[in-house]
């Protein structure tokens, strides 16, 4: 294999550079098209004769349209029938592609990364993220994709101009009844991303009174000081204006963070803490199990134990959450970052769907979000991201290994420690959790400083 392209959630690169340079992106499209034609099962496609159907969609980034056109042309040259869904959240692309019988869906988005980035996520015919084996197969196929090998008379790329409306209609149908969110006053921050054209109209149609923020779809400003990357903004506005709740989406709207009426940010752990007992009471929590990740707060364990619910921890990444849920027979799982997965209702994390489920519970229980979230106690947790110039094995760096071992000894069995590299950014992430906030923060800082000195950005 000549290179590793895929991180924990697809490809991420500065637009026009690296694998996203025009010539290399064309080769990548050709490699995917050829693999889909010759070995469809590897990419989770249906087995059988006929041309392969590929659906493309993107977020609002300035570079998205050109990259989509380039990939569509390369895929068509390899014999694929390509349909462009336009600007649409990642879960919307997954939903529509699966419902219409696509063999593969490609999401052109860098999710929470800054505007100058772009990327690709590959989804199977079921709308699920492909396993790492499929991504490795794409990487290997790149070596053979210098020139198209398929038909030289590709058909035109199709478009589906009403894709966003179809997705919004499907979401609206998830909450039956007349105005199920009536009376709720919401601030919704679309982050200038893929939810920009959908969120306000959808929540308004369900009865909520909506204050819309950063919803002009300005791709040059996606994630900049807004959205799920900066939930403190919507939290401040909710508190200042006396609203009931706030929602903040990331660039491709596959995750969401929330704010309660007090202006407190509520993350994915809060969502799990609220929805797990709610689904248990309504008979929608099979096996009494919820899947979190290694980053899920330890307070969830105690909260769920009191309710007779088991928390299982998957590796970081909603793809792994999905896999763990499937193995455990779980219907609910997610990450603190706001990726929440609901089975069998959906095939992937969906920020808008998550918001609907959470707000429906708030409206039905007639209790404010803050009160529902206060039902569990969060352990003090320190999270530090360190910019790094490379990603060597941390165990092989004596100073870092020493700081980690000292922190583990200090925590003993009364806390948790996770140190890992980001799969999508040049960052090392340090998470320390325990009973004493001051100690937790000091231990996290000591590890982060060791990383910064050894491999940090100058």
Residues with a catalytic annotation lie at: 111
Q: Which of 2, 5, 1, 3 is nearest to 423 (CA)?
A: 5
Q: Which of 246, 236, 230, 235 is nearest to 193 (CA)?
A: 230
> Residue 456: exposed, middle, or buried by beta-carbon count in 10 A (0-12, 13-18, 19+)?
middle
What is each CA distance from 12 to 2, 18, 36, 258, 395, in whole angstroms? 17, 10, 22, 26, 26
Strand-pair category, 53-58 with 104-108:
parallel
CA distance 52 to 83: 11
Q: Could you count the other beta carbons within 10 Å of the beta carbon of residue 152?
A: 8
Q: Which of 176, 191, 373, 178 is nearest to 268 (CA)?
A: 373
CA 306 to chain centre: 29
**Helical spans, DSSP H, in 156-267:** 163-172, 199-205, 231-241
What is each CA distance from 352 to 170, 240, 362, 372, 449, in whole angstroms? 11, 24, 15, 20, 37
CA distance 61 to 80: 25
CA distance 13 to 457: 18
CA distance 322 to 350: 12
Which residues, 6 or more positions from 187, have their beta carbon under 8 angstroms from its beta carbon? 210, 211, 213, 234, 237, 238, 241, 243, 245, 246, 247, 259
Q: Which of 160, 25, 189 is nearest to 96 (CA)?
A: 160
CB 310 within 8 A of CB 396: no
Cα 228-193-134 angle, rounded to 5 deg: 90
Q: Which two tokens stand for residue 365?
A: 């229980």
């Amino acid at each position: 294999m000549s290179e590793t392209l895929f991180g924990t959630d697809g490809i991420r690169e500065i637009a026009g550079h690296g694998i996203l340079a025009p010539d290399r992106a064309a080769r990548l499209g050709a490699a995917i098209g050829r693999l889909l034609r010759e070995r469809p099962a590897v990419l989770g496609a249906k087995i059988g004769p006929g041309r392969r159907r590929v659906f493309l969609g993107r977020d609002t980034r300035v570079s998205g349209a050109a990259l989509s056109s380039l990939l569509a042309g390369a895929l068509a040259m390899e014999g694929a029938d390509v349909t462009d869904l336009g600007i649409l959240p990642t879960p919307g692309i997954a939903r529509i592609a699966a419902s219409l019988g696509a063999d593969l869906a490609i999401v052109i988005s860098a999710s929470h990364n800054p505007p100058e980035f772009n990327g690709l996520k590959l989804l199977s015919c079921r709308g699920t993220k492909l396993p790492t084996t499929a991504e490795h197969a794409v990487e290997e196929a790149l070596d053979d994709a210098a020139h198209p090998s398929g038909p030289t008379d590709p058909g035109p790329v199709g478009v589906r101009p009403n894709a966003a409306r179809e997705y919004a209609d499907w979401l609206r149908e998830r909450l039956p009844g007349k105005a199920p969110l009536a009376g709720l006053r919401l601030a919704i921050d679309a982050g200038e991303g893929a939810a920009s054209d959908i969120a306000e109209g959808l929540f308004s149609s369900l009865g909520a009174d909506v204050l819309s923020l950063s919803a002009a779809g300005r791709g040059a400003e996606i994630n900049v000081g807004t959205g799920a990357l900066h939930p403190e903004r919507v939290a401040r506005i909710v508190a200042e204006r006396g609203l009931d709740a706030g929602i903040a989406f990331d660039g491709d709207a596959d995750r969401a963070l929330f704010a309660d009426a007090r202006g407190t940010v509520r993350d994915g752990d809060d969502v799990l803490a609220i929805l797990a007992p709610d689904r248990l009471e309504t008979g929608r929590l099979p096996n009494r199990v919820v899947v979190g990740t290694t980053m899920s707060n330890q307070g969830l364990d105690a909260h769920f134990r009191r309710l007779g619910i088991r928390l299982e921890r998957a590796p970081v990444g909603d793809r792994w959450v999905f896999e763990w849920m499937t193995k455990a027979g779980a219907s609910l799982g997610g990450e603190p970052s706001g990726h929440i997965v609901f089975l069998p209702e959906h095939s992937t994390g969906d920020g808008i769907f998550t918001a609907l489920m959470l707000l429906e519970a708030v409206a039905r229980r007639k209790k404010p979000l803050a009160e529902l979230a206060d039902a569990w106690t969060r352990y003090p947790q320190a999270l530090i991201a360190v910019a790094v110039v490379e990603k060597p094995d941390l165990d092989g760096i004596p100073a870092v290994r020493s700081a980690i071992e000292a922190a583990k000894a200090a925590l003993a069995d009364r806390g948790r420690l996770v140190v890992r590299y980001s799969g999508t950014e040049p960052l090392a992430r340090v998470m320390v959790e325990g009973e004493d906030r001051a100690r937790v923060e000091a231990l996290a800082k000591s590890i982060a400083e060791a990383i910064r000195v050894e491999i940090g950005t100058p």
